[in-house]
Structure 1
Amino acid sequence: MTVELAVDASLLVRGVSPVLAVPFTDQGEVDFDGFERLVQYVLSCGVTSVMFPGFASEFHKLSEDERWRLTHILLSRTRHLNDVAAVVAVQDHATILAVRRARAVVAAGADVINLLPPHFLTPSRRSLVDHICAVLEAVDPIPLVLQYAPTETGTSLDAATLGTIRERHPNLRLVKVESSPPGALIAELAARNPPLPAVEGYAGVQLPDAVRRGAVGTQPGCSFTEIYVEIWQRLTASDPDVAESGYELHRRLLPYISYWMLDTERIIAAEKLISVRRGLFASAYCREPAHRLDAEEVRMVDRFLAEFADRLPALG
């Protein structure tokens, strides 16, 4: 995507915007070829944006060199596409480092920044706001998605604070709401004047409620993107019968994702095994410390793949 169009790239972060996993070898080294195949697969599912790196990418287990090489692999696939936005995440705790990284990934071809506010040692609300505003100013007019993940980070933000930031920095274009449940905050943001659109995360566990309350997209993991795309298309259809079929499909998915999302490391492990079973990459290895699926959890993954076999073809 060209720089001239980047100011509108947030419009592409709608619908399903998968967060890319990072495949490793059985020895724990990054499988760069596997990552490239994963990018190709996700883009083939009809999405208009992808995000990297997030919690689902095990970003906190990557070296700087690994992270940059993976980012450049993604951007090599997206920077010339006007209909796909690459959302590149910034999670640095120090504001100076977050600003530096945000500018660097924009220079490398990122279309949208995803910002996870600092959370180590419980920074004050004022410090959080200052950090967010510094990154917004540094990349203006490039659009930014602010990730609100209180369970993982302990960070506390509210609609009024987010709205105030948006008034000062219009390139805050979306909020990724991962509170549990997310619906109330999504509705508050949608009711503001002007509205501050939100996307839902957390594996889509609360996706139907989020859609009813005004969510414009979802950012799940990437191992079964086809199912999320189908659910989203149905939930947002104008035909009530089609929309109801979306609720039914989500009800079938819910027992799996609600269990896996009891722990972030568990769903990372489950999605990696799904990816291996489907032939997306070769190893389900997660860098330690990690969740190790027990025998029943492995059987659960296989039941999931059997139940949704008509929607999840083997790709290897």
Structure 2
Amino acid sequence: MKELLGTGVALVTPFNEDKSVDFEGLERLVNFQIENGINYLVVLGTTGEPATLTAEEKEQVKNTIIKVNNGRLPLVLGIGGNNTAAVVNEVQTTDLSAFTAILSVSPYYNKPSQEGIYQHFKAIAEASSKPIIIYNVPGRTGKNIEATTVIRLANDFKNIVAVKEAAGDIVQAMRLIQHKPKDFMVISGDDMIALPMVLAGGAGVISVIGQGLPKDFSEMIQQGLSGNVNEAYKLHYKVMDSIDYIFEEGNPAGIKALLSKINICSLNVRLPLVKASDLLQQKINKYIDIY
């Protein structure tokens, strides 16, 4: 899965002032990634606010990205949930021809046991014609996928090819890298520790800040993958404050504030999320002005 090596970005869904989807902003966003060194795009991940999009809007967002991308970068589609049967049905009934892989989040709210998590991803793996990236984000789901469970899944199902590891736990990430099958990919889901994970043997990142600062962030990851530690860390410290800022009031409010500053799209989000405060927007604007 060399297509998933490097920097992927979890695209936002831009909204107009009336909270309708801003398809022109989405087109600008996709082209901005492609023109600035991003390696692949994640469609309808958490950052894209799929929880507040209608089924029709999801199709429109998906089709817009496919059309604008025009085969230039690999695409990954977010398909996940806490109803295993519903996720399996979506995997089986969705046209996945334009996508390299599926990103599937661990079941949220239900808080299943490790065996329940294993059986959930087993069912998805058996249903999917495409490779699967497990998404571990316990801060959102309420339940960590332990390294032993990920490794068990990786060994048992050849189409489970990677994990997006967003527990924020570098030790857990290192245990995954230590024990993973040879071709299995450990992808950072945490922008702040993406470089340390890469230097420890990770395969890259699925990033949020990457879509706002794509050139430097993707170059940082490439330098890390090449073992150029000093060059990579120079870029890490250059972008580091921006990572704090974009998560200060939650995701994607922060990254949309940054994208607003650089004229990609507005800072609008949909309830129950609210847009970035004036104070945060000022911090981000100042940061970009001197960047």
Normalising by structure 2, report the TM-score: 0.91
Spell out, residue by residue over 1:179-199, the C-alpha distance to the aligned partner (whole angstroms, 9 max, x if none): 122x22222222226243211
Identify the residue that residue 225 of structure 1 maps to in structure 2: 214
Q: 1:266-305 to 2 correspondence within 5 Å? A: 268-281=252-265, 283-305=266-288
Given the alignment, which residue of 193, 211, 221 partners 1:206?
A: 193
Identify the residue that residue 92 of structure 1 maps to in structure 2: 81
Mapped contact 1:72–1:108 kept (Cα < 8 A) = no
Over 3 Å counting, the alpha-carbon distance change for 1:226 and 1:154 in structure 2 is: same
* Aligned equivalents of 2:282, 2:205: Cα separation in 1: 27
Q: 1:134-173 to 2 correspondence within 5 Å? A: 134-140=123-129, 142-173=130-161
Mapped contact 1:16–1:217 kept (Cα < 8 A) = yes
Given the alignment, which residue of 22, 29, 40 partners 1:49?
A: 40
Q: 1:10-89 to 2 correspondence within 5 Å? A: 10-78=1-69, 80-81=71-72, 84-89=73-78
Q: Equivalent residue of 1:17, what SS?
A: strand
Q: Does 1:102 align with 2:91?
A: yes
Spell out, residue by residue over 1:104-126, the C-alpha distance to the aligned partner (whole angstroms, 9 max, x if none): 34544221000112112322332
* Aligned equivalents of 2:194, 2:274: Cα separation in 1: 25
* Aligned equivalents of 1:238, 1:121: Cα separation in 2: 41
CA RMSD of aligned residues (A): 1.9
* Aligned equivalents of 2:288, 2:203: Cα separation in 1: 28
* Aligned equivalents of 1:101, 1:71: Cα separation in 2: 14
Spell out, residue by residue over 1:87-136, the C-alpha distance to the aligned partner (whole angstroms, 9 max, x if none): 00112221122112223345442210001121123223322211111111
* Aligned equivalents of 1:168, 1:124: Cα separation in 2: 18
Normalising by structure 1, report the TM-score: 0.84
Q: Does 1:307 align with 2:259?
A: no
Given the alignment, which residue of 157, 163, 171 partners 1:184?
A: 171
* Aligned equivalents of 1:50, 1:302: Cα separation in 2: 25
Q: Does 1:254 align with 2:240?
A: yes
* Aligned equivalents of 1:238, 1:214: Cα separation in 2: 10
* Aligned equivalents of 2:18, 2:4: Cα separation in 1: 35
Mapped contact 1:75–1:108 kept (Cα < 8 A) = no
Over 3 Å counting, the alpha-carbon distance change for 1:105 and 1:14 in structure 2 is: farther
Q: Structure 1: which 5+ residue stretches go unaligned?
A: 1-9, 309-316
Q: Structure 2: which 5+ residue stretches go unaligned?
A: none
What is the aligned-residue identity percentage? 19
